[in-house]
Structure 1
Amino acid sequence: MRALRISLIVLGIVVVLFVVADRVALYITQGEVASRARGSLGLSEEPDVSIKGFPFLTQVAGQNLDKVTLGLDEYEALVDGETVMVTDLDLELRDTELSGGYSDAVASEASGSGVISYDALTDAYGELLGSENNGFGATFEYADGGLLLVNLQVRAMGQSLNVGSVTCEMVLEGNSITMEIVEENIPESIPGGEAIVREELETERTISELPDGLSLSSVEPTAEGIVLSVQGADVNLT
């Protein structure tokens, strides 16, 4: 009986030591992944990293990580060269193969999403539209049914005047977005009327400077902002 008790105590100690070693190794590895991901994905800062699954050491021994999540509070992308802030960018990398003495890590699949606020979208588009000196401007907000409400403005004597609104659908092709007008309510007070509104809103705009290896898979207006979904394959973390 005493021998059994001693064996159980020893087993308990071994289990505790294994768990401690597993968590320490996990903590160190997550820091290393964050550092490498910053460079390999072209990030401006180190992301928050979480490697899922327990125990961690058995995943390392098998040279495969089931799931790794990366998170950034803010990320700067570009819309036709104008900076736009993407917030709450969360990425999930699956089936990450380790090789080269664990110095190389490639995820077979990656996906994630982030949000562009309507204020950020208005700022970016405001710079694009304002650079064309056509007296036209716009602000953005959410419309029901997953559509975008565009409030039209004209600029006169240094002032921006709201003159009406149109509802648009956001159409994605590659990494380019077009706002297609689905409800026409274009006021006559805009210089050039319908032609100028359609030309400016339905111009294809390219979103660039996404994390390396990822491309847009969908864009969806929501109450919180424009949700950008991204995906990629064979994403290198090193």
Structure 2
Amino acid sequence: MVTTVDEAVATPRRPRRRRGFGLGLLVVLVVLAGLVVVADRVGATMAESRLVSVVETELNKQQITAAATDVDIEGFPFLTQVANGHYDRIVIDIDDLRSGKVRVSNLRINADDVTAPTGDLLGGSPKATAAKVTGVATIAWDLLPGLLDYAGMDFGDATFAPAGESVRVTGTAKVNGERVPVAATATFSVVRNQIRVRVSDASVSGMDLPQEAEDYINNLQDELSVGFTVPPLPFGLTVAKVAATDGGLAVTATAKDVPLAQ
């Protein structure tokens, strides 16, 4: 079949696919998405740095020292949270905290349901309030004898260590003129912002003691059942409970409607 000139002219040509345009658009979208992520992270980093200063100011008010403070604003995207004036959780880590005689290797604070009005933020006077704040601090086992002043009770070489579901306390006591090893069970509780230890089942292993010596050991365990008052904590935290862990005594403190920045 022969195609005439007129037929050839009348036959429409198929449009050439613009592959280059589609690929270019994809590249632009990827770059823009990357810029948005970068801007989001930059904004979060600046806000976290600002909160570090707020936390350090709060620590100074309570005469608390710390080796390092870190703040992490959870959730993504950050800028959306800023626009809404609400943050699900802000995590504060304070390392090597010292308050009075109490030394804590780490204090982690979770501030939940944080409200920070966007207008205040844009106006240069940011305010933030957390509906609930929970802090967990761990007191190393080797620090407890000093806090409880066991040396002053003539209970030497005292150590605490977890043993299954309980905690064992060991040390030496002077019985009938000589020092003997003593072991007992320790349990912890919270009474009006004071951490108390109750010592029970005290015994001297490998020795038969006269009755008067056994009476002394029983009296000793009562003397060792003491406590210490928790010094002021940041953000008005109040001790709620304690629990034994491998790393030490975990102290949980809580507070409600806490101003983080004002």
Q: Is the 8 A contact 1:146 1:220 kept in 2?
A: no
Work out whether residues 119 and 140 of structure 1, in 8 Å CA contact, stay in contact via their aligned partners in 2. yes
Aligned to 1:101: 120
| 1:27-84, Cα deviation, whole Å (9 max, x unpaired) | 1111001111111354534511111111000001111111111112211134xxxx12
Q: Does 1:231 align with 2:254?
A: yes
CA drift of 1:208 comes to 1.4
Distance 1:220 1:104, change over 3 A: same
Work out the CA distance in 1 between the residues paired with 2:166 and 2:55.
Answer: 34
8 Å CA contact retained: 2:157, 2:172: yes
In structure 2, the residue matched to 1:197 is 221
Please report the RMSD computed on the Cα atoms of aligned residues, expressed in angstroms. 2.8
TM-score (norm 1): 0.81
Q: Which residue of 2 aligns with 1:67?
A: 89
In the aligned structure 2, how far is the partner of 1:7 from the partner of 1:163? 78
Higher share in strand: 1
Find the counterpart in structure 1 of residue 5 from structure 2: none
Alignment partner of 1:212 is 2:235 = yes
Deviation at 1:162, TM superposition (A): 4.6
Tell me whether 1:173 sits opposite 2:198 in the alignment. no
Unaligned ranges ≥5, structure 1? none
Structure 1: how far apart are the matches of 2:248 and 2:213?
Answer: 29
The answer to whether the aligner puts 1:25 opposite 2:47 as a matched pair is no
Relative to structure 2, which stretch is displaced further, 88-97 or 162-171? 162-171
Assess, with a 3 A threshold, how the Cα gap between structure 1 residues 129 and 219 changes in structure 2: closer, same or farther: same
Query: CA–CA distance in 1 between the matches of 2:179 and 2:37?
Result: 64
Residue matched to 1:50: 72
| TM-score (ref. length: structure 2) | 0.74
**Quick one: structure 1 residues 211 and 155, their matched pair in 2 at CA, closer, same or farther if it must change by over 3 Å?**
farther
Distance 2:232 2:214 in 1: 34
TM-aligned CA deviation for residue 9 of structure 1: 4.0
Q: Does the C-alpha gap of structure 1 residues 143 and 26 become closer, same or farther in structure 2, counting only changes over 3 Å?
A: closer
Work out whether 1:148 is the aligned partner of 2:167: yes
CA gap of 1:167–1:117, structure 2 versus 1, over 3 A, is same
Inter-CA distance 28–143: structure 2 relative to 1 (3 Å threshold): closer
CA contact (8 A) 1:110 1:233 kept: yes
Query: Counterparts of 1:183-194 in structure 2 under 5 Å?
Result: 183-185=201-203, 189=213, 193-194=217-218
Higher relative contact order (CA 8 A, sep 6+): 1
Structure 2 alignment gaps of length 5 or more = 1-17
